[in-house]
Amino acid sequence: MPQLDETYSFKSGTSVYVCMLLDYDTQTAVDLLPSRKKQDLIDFFSSFPLEERQKVRFIAADMYETYR
């Protein structure tokens, strides 16, 4: 089950933080987004079909305002 995390591992062209989608079970990266800005995340996750998004059962996030 992929989990979402952001990291300061390097800077992208648009942000100091990148957003990394990780599969903690296999310790592999699923995707890497160039920023964790709210609109960028909305655009990314909205690109998935609604029926796929409705299958999400759990979300774990830190208290970063965008994730709330």
At residue 68, the pLDDT reads 60
Q: Which domain holds residue 32?
A: 2-53
pLDDT at 48: 94
Q: Per residue, what are the HEC states of the chain?
A: CEEEEEECCCCCCCCCCEEEEEECCCCEEEEEECCCCHHHHHHHHHCCCHHHHCCCCCCCCCCCCCCC
The tally of domains found in the chain comes to 1
The reply to whether 59 falls in a domain is: no
Answer yes or no: is 64 within a domain. Answer: no
| Residue 48 located in a structural domain | yes
* Residues in the chain, pLDDT under 50: none
pTM of the predicted structure, to 2 decimals: 0.66
Domain membership flag for residue 25: yes
For residue 22, tell me if it sits in a domain: yes
Tell me, yes or no, whether 12 lies in a domain: yes
Which pLDDT does position 43 carry in this prediction? 94
The whole-number pLDDT of residue 4 equals 58
Mean per-residue pLDDT of the chain: 76
